């Protein structure tokens, strides 16, 4: 007599054939695929992070350090005011820009931008000045250290502290343990800055 098959048996055998008779669930090919996706996302995060980091090194407020006066006019526009620094011909003076939220200055030395500063006006938002390397006006000193690590040097006087990062080409002025002024100075290089990149990339 021919063997008969119940409906339940037929469904179980059909399911077994479709699944290849394997148990467990995840196809062996899914594991490597997930690994590749994670690797691609990781590489993309690293590349974007490096680009953003190096983008901040060498310029602030859209003005590259070392720009001559014509280049500064192109990048920053005409200043609201200009002042000379003494009688030395090596110092071209300071250009000042103001809006409702901040005061920004370009200091020239030898006809080229040697320092760029930004200070928020007291009554305005603490985020008026653009952040640099993840550091904002109003950030606590511990936030600054978390983002960039320890400074190259620091000095304290007249109720404030200046933390200098020579390899990055930035100084941060702190008042009451919070960042009150951001300064870009000469000396920073992409090569010197890369040593701080791993810390900056940490979430």
Same domain, 51 and 67: no
Same domain, 148 and 200: yes
Share of the chain above pLDDT 90, in %: 36
120 domain residue, yes or no? no
151 domain residue, yes or no? yes
The per-residue pLDDT for 35 is 67
The per-residue pLDDT for 31 is 66
User: What mean pLDDT is predicted for residues 144-172?
Assistant: 92
Q: Is residue 64 over pLDDT 70?
A: yes
Write out pLDDT tens, residues 5-45.
444 444 444 444 444 444 555 556 666 767 665 556 555 54
Contact call for residues 94 and 80 (beta carbons, < 8 A): no
16 domain residue, yes or no? no
Q: From its phi and psi, is residue 84 left (phi > 0), alpha (psi between -120 and 50) or beta?
A: beta
Name the domain count of the chain.
2
150 domain residue, yes or no? yes
User: What mean pLDDT is predicted for residues 58-80?
Assistant: 90
Same domain, 82 and 180: no
The per-residue pLDDT for 202 is 62
Same domain, 42 and 71: no
Range of 36's domain? 32-57+131-203
Same domain, 178 and 136: yes
140: domain CATH number is 3.30.1450
Same domain, 152 and 172: yes
4 domain residue, yes or no? no
Neighbouring C-beta atoms of residue 86, cutoff 10 Å = 8
Share of the chain above pLDDT 70, in %: 59
Q: For 197, list phi and psi in degrees, rounded to 5.
A: -60, -45
Same domain, 152 and 201: yes
Same domain, 103 and 201: no
200 domain residue, yes or no? yes
The per-residue pLDDT for 183 is 95
The per-residue pLDDT for 170 is 92
23 domain residue, yes or no? no
Write out pLDDT tens, residues 96-152.
998 888 899 999 988 899 999 999 887 566 668 988 888 999 999 999 999 888 999
Dihedral sign, Cα of residue 48, residue 50, residue 51, residue 52: positive
Pick the more confident residue, 77 or 83. Answer: 77
Same domain, 150 and 189: yes
102 domain residue, yes or no? yes
Same domain, 81 and 104: yes
When pLDDT is cut at 50, 70 and 90, the band that residue 58 belongs to is confident
Residues 6+ away with beta carbon under 8 Å from 139: 178, 179
The per-residue pLDDT for 11 is 41
The per-residue pLDDT for 72 is 93
Same domain, 196 and 110: no
Same domain, 46 and 141: yes
Judge residue 108's burial from the number of C-beta atoms within 10 Å of its C-beta, 0-12 exposed, 13-18 middle, 19 or more buried: buried
Q: For 33, list phi and psi in degrees, rounded to 5.
A: -65, -45
Mean pLDDT, all residues of the chain: 76
Judge residue 126's burial from the number of C-beta atoms within 10 Å of its C-beta, 0-12 exposed, 13-18 middle, 19 or more buried: middle
């Amino acid at each position: 007599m021919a063997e008969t098959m119940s409906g339940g048996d037929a469904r179980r055998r059909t399911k077994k054939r479709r699944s290849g008779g394997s148990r467990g669930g995840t196809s062996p090919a899914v594991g490597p695929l997930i690994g590749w996706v994670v690797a691609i996302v990781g590489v993309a995060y690293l590349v974007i992070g490096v680009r953003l980091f190096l983008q901040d090194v060498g310029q602030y407020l859209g003005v590259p350090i070392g720009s001559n006066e014509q280049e500064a006019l192109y990048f920053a526009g005409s200043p609201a005011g200009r002042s000379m620094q003494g009688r030395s011909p090596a110092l071209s003076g300071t250009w000042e820009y103001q809006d409702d939220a901040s005061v920004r200055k370009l200091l020239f030395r030898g006809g080229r931008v040697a320092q760029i500063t930004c200070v928020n006006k007291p009554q305005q938002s603490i985020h008026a000045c653009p952040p640099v390397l993840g550091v904002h006006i109003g950030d606590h000193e511990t936030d600054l250290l978390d983002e960039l690590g320890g400074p190259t040097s620091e000095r304290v006087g007249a109720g404030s502290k200046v933390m200098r990062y020579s390899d990055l080409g930035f100084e941060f002025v702190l008042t009451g343990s919070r960042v009150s002024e951001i300064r870009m100075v000469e000396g920073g290089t992409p090569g010197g800055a890369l040593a701080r990149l791993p810390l900056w990339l940490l979430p």
